[in-house]
Structure 1
Amino acid sequence: MPEFLQGGGEMGQRIREFNWSKTSLGPVETWPHSLRTCIRIMLDSRQPIWIGWGKDLIKFYNDPYKTIVGGKHPWALGRPASEVWKDIWTDIEPMLHQVMHDGRGTYVESQLLIMERYGYPEETYYTFSYTPIPDDEGKTAGMFCANTEDTDRITSERQLRTLTQLGKTLTDSKTGAEIIEKTISTLQGNPHDFPFALFRQIHHHKAILKGHTDFGDSRKLLPDEIDLESDNPLAAAIKTALGTGLPHMFETLKTHVGALPAGAWHVSPDKAIVLPIVLTGKQDAYGVMVVGINPFRPADEKYISFFSLVADLIATSFADVFAYEEERKRAEALAEIDKAKTAFFTNISHEFRTPLTLMLGSLEEIMEHKKKEEDQAVAIETTHRNALRLLRLVNNLLDFSRIEAGKVKASFSPTPISAFTAELASNFEQLIENAGLDFEIKIDQVTQPVYVDKEMWEKIVLNLLSNAFKFTMQGSIAILLHADDTNLTMEVRDTGLGIPDEELPKMFQRFHRVHNVSGRTYEGTGIGLSLVSELIDLHGGDISVTSKLGKGSSFIVTIPVGKEHLPYSQIAEYDTTYSATHADVFIDEAENLFNNDQVDSKDSERTYNPALPFILIVDDNADMRRHLTTLLQSEYNIVTAKNGSEALSKIKAQPFSLILSDIMMPVMDGTELVKAVKNNEQTANTPIILLSARAGEEAKIEGYNTGADDYLVKPFSAKELKARVRSQINLATKRLTALKKIEESEAYFRRLADNAPVTIWITEENGYCSYLSKSWYETTGQEKEEALGFGWLQATHPEDIERTTAIFADANTRQTFFHALYRLRQKDGTYRWSIDRGMPRFDDTGKYLGIIGAVVDVHEQRMAELALEESQEMQRLAVESGVIGTWGCDLTTEIVEMSETTRDIFGFSTLLVTLTDVINGIADYDQEKTRKAIEAAIRHPKGTYQTEYDVVNGTDGIIRSVIANGKIFLDKDGVPVKFFGTCLDVTKQKRTNEYLEAEVKTRTAE
């Protein structure tokens, strides 16, 4: 046994026992040494290898390769490769041809090959190389192939990619429809494993189509509904899957429904798998996925497990979405509660902190013992008024909480409702008339028995009238009362501001307030109307509102007459004595609103010290304006405003050193005021301090985010307020000084730029050109309005605009240097070449600001360059056409490099040519002349060289006449180092001239 066939496991044994003499290879003893060596390497290797030998590529392979040939083992041994791999021959034959005929190896990675190894075609992937094997004479006689199978890796990575993408995509789904859409989209991205896919929702014994991949014209699987009791073949498959809760294979698809989408393959699948989508904790499936099976993969346990994982992901997503939907509904309910709570605390915070600030501030003033008696009286009055306001607020809260807790014990007694209501309304008569409004009290004499809790009815009437006064600035307010056999009706209507339509349904919600309305004040808890609604509800009645924006509102209260609708235990059969106790509080508060304007009217009466800074105080609460004015008027000139809108009017009339503003105000609140001031270039640097009842870090951050310079939480001390005001005014003064210096610097720069001989320009971050120096306008004739922005580009040559725009846009995007050469239109309409260069601008923090650059006229230089380029191009064309030859000589080595034309003239056959070779190639009678011409060129100041000589061609011996031109180049020390030139073959011209001269002589002689 030959030594090279020893060992090798099963295949070594088979190769030894094979009768090779019956093949084109002949007996083993005749095999070339190279084949023996390769077989030895193959048998000892643990990598799958096969060898093909001879023109038929007779096949050898080792034990690891058996898994690759599969069912063709051991038949494949000793057979031509074209027989063994006839199923993939069209894929591998071109590569084998390259190896066997061209002697060049090949290498491919993860090559898809559809093999038939077990009687059916299957998807496989291989990385392999074909290496030529020479015979003993050195000619390619065979090839060596090393293989690595990648099928499991490729298919596993592909499936993992699909599962990962599906999981990632479905994570943020919010609805079932979104899950189906994303699932179909993801599966369509893997057409190898999902030639087609569709989702059907199960509902009342029907499978309803909800989504599918692209089916083209194949629509038989896509009816909108499938009755699961019908004879539709898919219905039976779906029922089976639903019944078992397991994946079910739908066989012989083509027989039942014909051709279907093939996905990534050229053959459509004949099998589909039905995957029930069962949600966790549910018995019945929500739906089914129907997926086409890869026609080149066996539907084995591994493949079906992959589909099950897909189904589990989809089911989990549906469960999450439905759970999310339930949670969302719960969250919405909680959010409503939370929203009401937030509104309550926001409003109540303001309502508590404002009077507390005023009370503490007034008490602080009194404790200083420096105030006049008159001032002390005002401080005490302010404290008392705000204490009553707090008391009313606390009482309202207590009433509201008792009603919610069901602890209110009403006492309904027969009441002379007309007289009682008229008495309550009359409390407002003087106040309303003083405010310039008409007040109508139209109360019919009600004879029907009416049972009310008098304290509650008082709160109902006073709240409605107070609300009407608060939002009626002109016109009238009216209260009407009448009854019929069933109901008592009271209406409070006004010609006030009205209520937006979208707010009407929310008017009686607890803690709700209509924002940004032009009432007398923004203050309020949002409790009043909701409390009224609750009190009316305790009477078995109802309240409604109608309104038209800008026209007024009407609140209508209806309660049943009699007592049958009331709890028996809460009825008193006699008229209880009750005198109104809450009217004074309501009237005082309303009167304070009316007196709001009178505090501000003193602004026009004040005398101002022009040496002191002006401060604008903005607050809808008159007491607060008065209090802040008192604290600051000794150091500053004070102007006041009731809301943001009024403040803006006063800001337009004069500049202020600082604005001190409340946040919650009618018409325009403090936040909107800040935005308006900061967005106005003329007032943007005016410092603003916001006063707010909202405490905490988050509230402060919100305040600063609006653009405010400082944020002061109520209640605050006089010292803290004065310190903040003083600090902000000082900072603003320093900022203004710095800005003036910057402006002076910019003005100086612009003067320099305008007097520079070049054009200076500046662009902003968005590429907008904000500055062009005077030179631009003088050169182009453009006006500022025309050139700034992006208009400067219109002054470039039409052929240069697109290129220049692209270069500038790229530089601006990448925040890098800008360089462009373009033709610039002159004032007279002509164009001149200009170079435009710019560099990026950044501030101290590294923020990109734009580009600054300069435009320089380079017309003469550019025209010279173009002329030179044209000359060089003409010379290049001449050289390339073979008319002129070129050469260059290194004088230190005397090595000459030359063009093919020069080489042909001299007839040189060797690559290395020296200057001596060139001289020797010249005819003997011209050699000395040529040497002297070179020596003269070296001595010549310009180093120019020109001569004419004959060349004896080294190849054919023919004499050629040549005109040579050249130039000597010196190094920095003046030593000649390079010698370049051209040579022109003028043999034909010279022969022609000689012939003509001879003809002339002959004819002259005759």
Structure 2
Amino acid sequence: MSTLPPSFSPVPGFLQGGGAMGERIRAFDWANHPMGPPQGWSPALRMALSLCLNSSFPTAIYWGPEMFVLYNDAWSAIPADKHPWILGKPARVGWSDIWDIVGPQFEHVLHHGEGIATYEQMLPMVRNEKPCETWWNYSLTPIREADHSVGGIFNQGNEITAVVQGRRARQAELLRWQEIFQRSPAGIALLRGPTHVYEFANDAYLRVVGKVDIIGRTVSEAVPEVVDQGYVAVLDSVYAGKPFIGSSLPVKLAREPGEPPEERLLDFIFQPVRDAAGAVEGIFILVTDVTERARAESALRLTNWQLGEERARLASTVEAEQRARTALRRMTDTLEAIVKSRTAELTQALEAQAAAMDRLRAAFATDLIFQGFMDPQGTLLDANSTSLAAIGCRLEDVVGKPFWETPWFTATPGAPQRVRAAVEQARHGRKAQTEMTVNLPQGPGSFLFSVRPVVNARGEIVGLVPEAIALAEPSRQLAT
């Protein structure tokens, strides 16, 4: 029988796997590092690092007062040329270029034990020895020791620089087209949605309808006199996909406040605007007031001489209008192509964001922590497989119920009231945390239970996250 040499040190279970970063962490000279050998690391750090290394979502851990950096393969792209140098470095050293921004956030989480979620945060990172404008969504969550003190920070996030820059480019492009349309001598407007809300109207269009304050209002609200004349019904037909062209159509418009409607003769082009998928999302309007031309035509009938003269003038005017219509049709085609292109870019950005959400879901499906998600009123919307297995239920058995009325707590006297109080505290913006012993189908169990709010970029609470960690001996945690 062979025996292992005295110097043999097996790899701890929590350091197994983790791809390239798992190998780097296992090979790191921790004996000469302030954190010491991994065999002496606390159970809280072991559990967090195991979750980090085996997550496909970019994840880092900042441990101890110095906030030494540990991270997984997915996160290794974030520090760029600092990888793998940043492994084991204090956060202040590793992120010296952005410490004035992230440092106060890290210190707040470490000293106050309150998590932070930040969206569209600009960080001027140094990449290739030059400061770069980068944009991020990330969260900082306290990692608590067995005595509830904060031992470190659990960080997850992803870069959204391409999304922000793409949105800027689209907005600049739309502004450029608005400027072009604004200077057009023809009346141009853009309606959005099935209720025909004015999104844009140039000065020429406002002069035609005799209105000023129409942006953000529906056609029925802004120009109510056209409803009974059937023009809203025409817009409904165009929104269904059928273009409309009208020549010298009579329209009664209240062009002055308090004055009776005045009949005008207008040329119309109503063109459906489609998104990248081909669905109609709005209507492009080109309108020309031809009232004076029509009156002139009537006057020209009085004499043959006037008729000949005016016919020549009208032929020239018609030719100019045809050229303008051709140019505007080309402009419409160009705009439609640009909108399709920009919408395709947005779709790609949304697909990338959906992929990031899938990675986040993978982190959610851990077997080390009981996790769920509720709406701000405490109705359960989701729960991970570990928590469902503890009560022998399927997700559909508990989704839609008040969290405190679910089988995790109903078998324990007093537990529903304590959970409801925790939910009430979290929905007012304060994290609730307590130790609880509950009766589960396999027997009673003790847990560190918490409910924390999830806040969006505007500071609104959009959901609540319940979490529970089984309270057990460290050796038993490692064995599982």
Normalised to the residue count of structure 1, the TM-score between the two structures is 0.19
Normalised to the residue count of structure 2, the TM-score between the two structures is 0.38
Higher RCO (CA-CA < 8 Å; seq separation 6+): 2
Q: Indicate the structure with greater strand content.
A: 2
Bigger Rg, which one: 1
